[in-house]
Structure 1
Amino acid sequence: MTLAQKILANNNDLPIRTDQPVHSGKVRSVYWLSDEDSARLINQRGYPVASNAQLAVMVISDRLSAFDCIWHGENGLHGVPGKGAALNSIASFWFDSFKQEGLAPSHILDVPHPLVWIVQKARPVKIEAIARQYITGSMWRAYAKGEREFCGQRLEEGLSQNQRLEELLITPSTKGVLKGLAGVPEADDVNIARADIERHYQSFGFEHLDDISRYETLLKQGFSVISKQLDKIGQIFVDTKFEFGYVDDADGNSQLIYMDEVGTPDSSRLWDATEFSNGNVVENSKELFRQKLLSYFPDPDILLNKDRMDERENLAKNNELPAEIMLEVSGVYTNMAEQIIGSPLYKPENPRQEILDALNEEYKLIQ
């Protein structure tokens, strides 16, 4: 079997039994289960959820996204070997750590295969909850141009690039386009202040005003758990994205939970601590791939300028990246996963067939 055949590039065409359209994102696809299959699995597997909860099968691919585009490489590499398994294993590890620390559960109920989660449908909070411990990336670029206020919070003068901030900074942005909210731009992924969230808390998906403080607490606690554990393996937790939602527990009580993914090389920025102490920034996350793209193409403005999105999409569609770039990214993701989970990462040899076998034999979800 070739390396390309070990990559799960398409994850939205699996014969998983569902009576709704498959929701396919840049990396994951979601198959909503019927009421009958949801109730059957809740009963058979003893999931700690309400008896009428809707479940879904979430399948992660090995696709590689950056700058809002999907990239591919030569030799038929329509993804990065081991990337999906690495992301799932890391996120599962952190969610388990949060639960063990008594913070909050996640939407994950079961892991039938390294590329698959069975999750409970959540009522999402429409916020990308971003936490920053260092000033770098887009925040540094804005700061260098003279901006000092970020999401209603003012930074002091005299900061330098990649400097550690005195306190963890929460810089939320919109998730999806919200319309008709005073002071909130009608666009995806735009910065918002806490005052905006308080003023429109129900439109953002919060069930209670006090839950804004609850989500901030869970964000800070989760960041601390990850940061302390990464420190033990010589990695710096620079910044990350959290997402939250509501589910009903087995007693029918609504609770705020973690969802999506957290602490992965896709959703976070990770630096090598030893190199950083020597004045060097060595990226161990998707940021490495972004930097490779900016160096590889002669006009990096295409990747950075949102007004050139059509050109960017054509760039991604019509260019096969060198295999060494794809494999270097694969190595970074695999290495980070193995360091975090403390064991070798299982990388499927035949991911599609393995997923079908796992969901058919024990879960009876294949048509």
Structure 2
Amino acid sequence: MSLADKVLAVNNDLPIRTDLPVHSGKVRSVYWLTEADSRRLIQEKGYDVAADAPLAIMVISDRISAFECIWHGEGGMNGVPGKGAALNAISNHWFKLFHENGLADSHILDIPHPFVWIVQKAKPVMIEAICRQYITGSMWRSYAKGEREFCGIQIADNLQKDQKLPELLITPSTKGILKGIPGVPEVDDVNITRDDIINNHEAFQFRSKEDIAVYEKLLKEGFDVISSELEKIDQVFVDTKFEFGYVTDASGNEKLIYMDEVGTPDSSRIWDGPSYREGKVIENSKEVFRQELLNYFPDPDILINKDRMEERYALAKDNALPAELLQKVSDTYVGIAEKIIGEKLPLSDNPKAEIIEILRDQYALID
């Protein structure tokens, strides 16, 4: 079996029973179960959700996106071997720790296969919550140009690139296009201040003003749990993105939960500790892939200049990346996952066949 066969690139064509179109994101595909199947599973498996809660099967892929494009490699390699399994394993690890530490639950109810989550429908809070412990990336680029205010927070002068910040910074941005919020442009992913959230909490889909403090507490506690665990394996937790939503449990209590993924190389920056102490940054995150792309193409401006999107899409579509480049990214993802979970990552020779078998035989979701 070739390496390309082991990559799960297409994940929106599984024969899972559903009445709705499959929602296919950059990395995950979501299959909303029929009302009958949702009710049956809640009853059979004893999930702690309302009896009529809509459930979905979320299937991860090995696809890789960067600079808003999906990339592929030579020899039909339409993804990065091991990437999907690595992302899910890392998220599962952190979600479990959050639960054990009494932080909050996640949208995940069940993990039938390393590539698959059974999730409950949550009402999302319309904020991408970025936590930063070091000044790097886009924040450093703005700082180097003289900016000192980020999301309404004043930052000290004389900071150096990649330096640890005096305290954890929360720099939120909008999730999706939000309309009618004073002073907030109607575009996706625009920076907002704490005051913006407090003054317009309903527009951001918070149930109450008090929940803003809950969200901030979960952000900081979640960051601290991951950061201290990564310290034990001599890795530096640099920054990350959290997403939140509301669900109702079996007793009818509405609660704020973690959504999407947490603490993964796709949603976070993780640096190698020993190298950082020597003054060198070695990334254990998607940043490795971004840097490889910037070095690989003769005109890297196409990748960062938003006025050249057409050229960028063409670049991604027309260029099969060298297999060794994708293998390097695979080594990064699998390597950091195995460090975090403390064991070998279970990799599959034929993930699609395995998923179909499990969902058919153990969950009766495939005819």
Q: TM-score range by the shorter chain?
A: over 0.9
Question: Match for 1:158: what amino acid?
Answer: N
Instruction: Quote the offset at 1:205 in angstroms.
Output: 1.0
SS of 2:76 mapped into structure 1: coil
- For 1:1-367, what aligned pairs fall within 5 Å after superposition? 1-367=1-367
* Distance in 1 separating the partners of 2:246 and 2:26: 23
* Distance in 1 separating the partners of 2:210 and 2:295: 46
* Distance in 1 separating the partners of 2:128 and 2:354: 33
Deviation string 1:185-242 (CA, Å, 9 cap, x unpaired) is 1111110111111121111110111111111100000000000000010100000000
Instruction: Quote the offset at 1:317 in angstroms.
Output: 0.5
Instruction: Quote the offset at 1:88 in angstroms.
Output: 0.3
* Distance in 2 separating the partners of 1:37 and 1:130: 36
Question: Match for 1:90: what amino acid?
Answer: I
* Distance in 2 separating the partners of 1:196 and 1:208: 14
Structure 1 stretch displaced more, 95-104 or 176-185: 176-185
Question: Match for 2:318: what amino acid?
Answer: N
Instruction: Quote the offset at 1:277 in angstroms.
Output: 0.2
* Distance in 2 separating the partners of 1:178 and 1:45: 37
SS of 2:270 mapped into structure 1: strand
SS of 1:218 mapped into structure 2: helix
* Distance in 2 separating the partners of 1:318 and 1:136: 31
Deviation string 1:74-104 (CA, Å, 9 cap, x unpaired) is 1111000010000000001000000000000
Question: Match for 1:204: what amino acid?
Answer: F
CA RMSD, aligned part only?
Answer: 0.6
Instruction: Quote the offset at 1:300 in angstroms.
Output: 1.1
**Runs of at least 4 residues off by over 6 Å:** none
Question: Match for 1:211: what amino acid?
Answer: D
Instruction: Quote the offset at 1:309 in angstroms.
Output: 1.1
SS of 1:75 mapped into structure 2: helix
* Distance in 2 separating the partners of 1:298 and 1:171: 33
* Distance in 2 separating the partners of 1:210 and 1:312: 43
SS of 2:159 mapped into structure 1: coil
* Distance in 2 separating the partners of 1:330 and 1:113: 20
* Distance in 2 separating the partners of 1:66 and 1:182: 32
SS of 1:26 mapped into structure 2: coil
Instruction: Quote the offset at 1:250 in angstroms.
Output: 1.0
* Distance in 2 separating the partners of 1:366 and 1:127: 35
Structure 1 stretch displaced more, 194-203 or 153-162: 194-203
Instruction: Quote the offset at 1:305 in angstroms.
Output: 1.1
Instruction: Quote the offset at 1:297 in angstroms.
Output: 0.7
Deviation string 1:292-315 (CA, Å, 9 cap, x unpaired) is 111111111111111211111111
Question: Match for 1:335: what amino acid?
Answer: G
* Distance in 2 separating the partners of 1:185 and 1:285: 30
The number of residue pairs the alignment matches comes to 367
* Distance in 2 separating the partners of 1:266 and 1:361: 32
Question: Match for 1:327: what amino acid?
Answer: Q
* Distance in 1 separating the partners of 2:10 and 2:203: 34
Deviation string 1:333-363 (CA, Å, 9 cap, x unpaired) is 0011111111110111101111100100000
